[in-house]
Amino acid sequence: EDQVTQSPEALRLQEGESSSLNCSYTVSGLRGLFWYRQDPGKGPEFLFTLYSAGEEKEKERLKATLTKKESFLHITAPKPEDSATYLCAVQSHVSGYSTLTFGKGTMLLVSP
């Protein structure tokens, strides 16, 4: 069974204080690892897809990296508008094309 564990559950940062969120996964044949951002009461917003170990993707202050067992979402010099819950999800060749298995998320709060 595919499993995704995210840490920490919650993270409070000061504006400009860089940090990283962790996503550890166990999956039978990784098809892809996805990062989403979710604001309260809204739908997850797609950020990145990573397919193979060593891959990196960047978007503004966010950078996602992937190893064979985990992924990191690095946040550089965050701003208050980066406050949200960040969800990691995996898709496997075994579980089926459709199934995204999500982690519980990391709730990020960036204070001015």
Partner 1 sequence: AAGVIQSPRHLIKEKRETATLKCYPIPRHDTVYWYQQGPGQDPQFLISFYEKMQSDKGSIPDRFSAQQFSDYHSELNMSSLELGDSALYFCASSERLAGVDEQFFGPGTRLTVL
Could you say which of 15, 29, 45, 69 contacts partner 1 (CB under 8 A)? Answer: 45
What would you measure as the largest C-alpha separation in the chain, in angstroms? 44
Residue with tokens 């397919």: 51
Binding of residue 1 to partner 1 (CB under 8 A): no
Binding of residue 72 to partner 1 (CB under 8 A): no
Binding of residue 103 to partner 1 (CB under 8 A): yes
Q: 77-104: b or e for each residue (b if 16 or more CB lie within 10 Å)?
A: ebeeebbbbbbbbbbbeebeeeebbebe
Could you say which of 15, 104, 109, 111 contacts partner 1 (CB under 8 A)? Answer: 104
Binding of residue 99 to partner 1 (CB under 8 A): yes
